[in-house]
A and B are shown apart, each in its own frame.
With several copies, the nearest count.
Chain A
């Protein structure tokens, strides 16, 4: 069991009802974590739409993570 800090943005944060939370999980990759959280928060965006960051750096969906990591899930960017 790993404990991580999750960061959510934009509609993911709005749908989750929070921008940040602690999360305990047994899964090993970010994409598995996303599936778990998508169900938990009834997110409407699919995996191919989101981007991940691990400890403030972009990372791939199949990246693993460690206990204590800060993990971000981001919807499509819309700056500019």
Chain B
């Protein structure tokens, strides 16, 4: 199940929803809001979603993971709205009989969510500028160039 949350993501209920007596390995990934990006201080950010399509596409990503890997459970939740550094942006959890499949599926799911689920990150920096993050504008692994608007 893929869900969107306007409130702080509660990790423990998500994790507990996956507990199974026949599972041996559980892998989770959490995306945390960092206080820096490309050398700039991040003060806060906003996630905007195309909610209806995000929910169907998120579910499709989890379905694809279940087809591709040997899993006993999958769950993901993405936060929407305004967040500050230290907050949880996205949670992915996977359980399986063995750890291989859990690790690989978890990695697959977060990569697919980032690339295909219609959610956008608007970063607000400590220098009062802000930017819609565009991962496709990378010049290399860790440098983005996108439209920067200085707040007036």
Instruction: Please list the residues of chain A having a beta carbon within 8 angstroms of any beta carbon in chain B.
Output: 7, 9-11, 13-14, 44, 49, 51, 53, 56-58, 72, 74-80
Cβ-defined contact, B132 with A80, below 8 A:
no
Please measure, in the bound complex, the distance between the C-alpha atom of A60 and the C-alpha atom of B22, giving whole angstroms: 38
Contact among B54, B110, B134, B147 for A78, CB-based, below 8 A: B134
B53 touches A56 (CB 8 A): yes
Contact of B119 among A53, A72, A77 (CB under 8 A): A77
A79 near B57: Cβ-Cβ < 8 Å = no
Chain A residues with Cβ under 8 A from B118's Cβ?
9, 51, 53, 72, 74, 77, 79
In the complex the two chains form, is A72's CB within 8 Å of B53's CB?
A: yes
Query: Knowing A14-B132, A56-B53 touch, does A80 contact B147 (C-beta < 8 A)?
Result: no
- Chain A residues with Cβ below 8 Å from B134 are 11, 49, 75-76, 78
A76-B145 Cα distance, complex, nearest whole Å: 13
Q: Which bucket holds chain B's interface residue count? A: 20 to 34
* Residue with the greatest number of chain B CB neighbours at <10 A, chosen from A7, A49, A58, A76: A76
Complex formed: what's the CA distance from A9 to B54 in Å? 12
Contact among B53, B120, B136 for A79, CB-based, below 8 A: B120
Determine if B56 and A77 form an interchain contact, defined as CB atoms under 8 angstroms apart.
no
Q: Which residue of A lies closest to B144 (CB)?
A: A78
Shortest distance between the CB of B139 and any CB in chain A (Å)? 14
Q: Shortest beta-carbon distance, B106 to chain A, in Å?
A: 13
With contact pairs A56-B56, A78-B120, A79-B117 given, residues A9 and B90 touching in the complex (Cβ less than 8 Å): no
Q: Which residues of chain B are within 8 angstroms of A7 by Cβ–Cβ distance?
A: 50
Cβ-based interface call for B10 (8 A): no
Q: How far is A14 from B110 in the complex, measured between Cα atoms in Å?
A: 27
Inter-chain CA distance A74–B119, complex, in Å, is 9
List 19 contacting pairs A-B, 8 Å CB cutoff, sorted by A.
A9-B50, A11-B132, A13-B48, A44-B147, A49-B136, A53-B53, A56-B52, A57-B53, A58-B57, A72-B53, A77-B118, A77-B120, A79-B78, A79-B119, A79-B120, A80-B89, A80-B110, A80-B114, A80-B119
With CB as the reference atom, state the residue of chain B lying closest to A13: B48
Counting from the closest, the 9 A-B pairs by CB-CB distance are A79-B119, A10-B120, A80-B114, A11-B132, A78-B133, A76-B136, A78-B121, A10-B132, A56-B52
